[in-house]
Structure 1
């Protein structure tokens, strides 16, 4: 859940030719990333998973198996439902094997599991970013009582045992719309980490000459915030968003593993890993396949986040 502090520094005034200009543009960041083989490989995998999530119905149609469809001919009922054939039933019909006990196609469930994981992680990241930026700007720019109230709320949420609370709340909630509840609950505990950094940099930026000049010229508070301060926070927000996504993917998988996340029969990678525990000794591929997809996705986002942080803040990157 905790998003690590980026340690980013605000660009010096000499680096800001005009208000809203940042040292590294999005195009510059993209060009630098594309020259890094590791970043390119990670980006390619992330794009692959995103395409899987977006095109899940079409991909499953091509594979010939629905994620909820049982294939009793692919398992041995006399052996407790163990998949027929080697490597968990991998064959021309079932590209990644079948689920023990039910015969459901693992490839189809992986594809739809990617949709659930990415939908929750991306939605939570968007909501977290909006809340974090808004409250961080309010606290940093207005200060005083506004800052005090927002800061106390942030401190409370950051000190609260989030995982325990998530498990308790989600366990008590109905199974309907569980994915939306996951997004809300994850976001409630995620936004303070971004808000704290935005607050600190806003407090620094509002003392700069270009902001004071805008205020002196009669610009409204909203104009100062959205045209002078917010554009200079884009690098920070970009890094924090990149680092938040893998954290939320892992959170969703962990909650689903514990049985309070995505509700069966809706596929989820964490849910598949949990179901594979009892079969690991006889069908290890049932655990390894979703585990590998999940681990590679989290690793890819972490590497991309690390590379982006190194590009936008080379001085603060270890």
Structure 2
């Protein structure tokens, strides 16, 4: 009995994960996001905030107000420094109002505060992802004593109440530009969570048939890691990094709110909310504007990350 030879089309099909598969996967997720109203609205708002952050110097140049420029004429000293006019001093000159007592322009401070928040959050996300992926891969791929050492370090760091230790560490350090310190502290306490996921998935993948086949064919360790294992971690890494950014924005804002994060005069949303607490009864706009920007930014990033996760899961299920 003769066996039919495989068709030319079947022989020509590339293996899963090869060739243009990543681009196809990206287009599929993009199409799914475009059909989702929540994802579209979240992306639009995030685009606005990112544009404000990028164009912060231009905004200050157009409005004529820098983030730290005082405008005594915009506040009424007879009323304890409350902004003149309605809604916290909103006017053609100050589109989002002014801060009480000093008259600093809130729009300029929001734009520059967005720069600080995104810079710290994205930098911390990049570093935690690099550390988490590298150490998670090492632990899962080599196992043995390497896995034991890395896993014990992860357990040690994850056992700490991170926020309390961040406050204690940052409050004991000198003031000044704390952006680098914030990124460092967030990275130290953040990487184990991603590394734990990468380690678990790597432990599963190293025993799969395609990895064994690569070993049998004489592939190097680097080829196995970069061509066989990492492509299968792509979706998980995209989802986790997307969800890490809003978490780190919230962490920076919380630390700045408590006075151990970004220090004045550098603008920060958390710092603005902290300053506004004593004014919320008499000038609610001062509290509402940075609070609303922080809330909507974190919400938009969380919704977008959740939609990407759902689209990724749907692709794996199909």
TM-score higher than 0.5: yes
> Secondary structure of the equivalent of 1:89?
coil
Matches within 5 A, 1:235-274: 235-274=235-274
Output one character per residue of 1:164-214: Cα deviation in whole Å (capped at 9) or x when no partner: 110111111122330010001001111111111111111111111111111
Contact 1:24 1:311 survives alignment (8 Å): no
Deviates more, 1:214-223 or 1:264-273: 214-223
Q: State whether structure 2 residue 213 is matched by structure 1 residue 213.
A: yes
Residue 171 (structure 1) aligns with: 171
Contact 2:46 2:297 survives alignment (8 Å): yes
Q: Distance in 2 between matches of 1:161 and 1:167?
A: 10
Residue 52 (structure 1) aligns with: 52
State the 1:90 CA deviation: 0.4
Output one character per residue of 1:68-104: Cα deviation in whole Å (capped at 9) or x when no partner: 1000000011221110111100000000000001000
Q: Distance in 2 between matches of 1:129 and 1:78?
A: 53
Matches within 5 A, 1:46-195: 46-195=46-195
State the 1:316 CA deviation: 9.5
Q: Distance in 2 between matches of 1:176 and 1:264?
A: 8
* Rg larger for: 2
Residue 13 (structure 1) aligns with: none
> Secondary structure of the equivalent of 1:174?
coil
> Secondary structure of the equivalent of 1:138?
helix
Q: Distance in 2 between matches of 1:23 and 1:92?
A: 46
Residue 10 (structure 1) aligns with: none
Contact 1:19 1:210 survives alignment (8 Å): no
Contact 2:214 2:224 survives alignment (8 Å): yes
State the 1:156 CA deviation: 1.0
Q: 2:15 pairs with 17, 27, 45, which one?
A: 17
Q: Distance in 2 between matches of 1:35 and 1:273?
A: 35
State the 1:18 CA deviation: 3.1
Residue 6 (structure 2) aligns with: none
State the 1:40 CA deviation: 0.4
Deviates more, 1:237-246 or 1:73-82: 73-82
Q: Distance in 2 between matches of 1:124 and 1:207?
A: 32
Q: Distance in 1 between matches of 2:191 and 2:136?
A: 9
Q: Distance in 2 between matches of 1:30 and 1:167?
A: 39
With over 3 angstroms needed to count, the CA separation of the structure-2 counterparts of 1:46 and 1:293, relative to structure 1, is same
> Secondary structure of the equivalent of 2:88?
helix
Task: Flag structure 2 segments of 5+ consecutive residues without an equivalent.
Answer: 1-13
Q: Distance in 2 between matches of 1:176 and 1:223?
A: 45
More contact order relative to length (CA 8 Å, sep ≥ 6): 1
Residue 226 (structure 1) aligns with: 226
Q: Distance in 2 between matches of 1:173 and 1:288?
A: 31
Q: Distance in 1 between matches of 2:23 and 2:148?
A: 32
> Secondary structure of the equivalent of 1:66?
coil
State the 1:226 CA deviation: 1.0
Q: Distance in 1 between matches of 2:162 and 2:53?
A: 28
Q: Distance in 2 between matches of 1:91 and 1:177?
A: 32
Contact 1:60 1:111 survives alignment (8 Å): no
State the 1:22 CA deviation: 6.6
State the 1:46 CA deviation: 1.0
Q: Distance in 1 between matches of 2:114 and 2:289?
A: 13
Q: Distance in 2 between matches of 1:55 and 1:138?
A: 41
State the 1:35 CA deviation: 1.2
Residue 5 (structure 2) aligns with: none
With over 3 angstroms needed to count, the CA separation of the structure-2 counterparts of 1:22 and 1:141, relative to structure 1, is farther
Output one character per residue of 1:128-181: Cα deviation in whole Å (capped at 9) or x when no partner: 110110011000100000001111111111110111110111111122330010
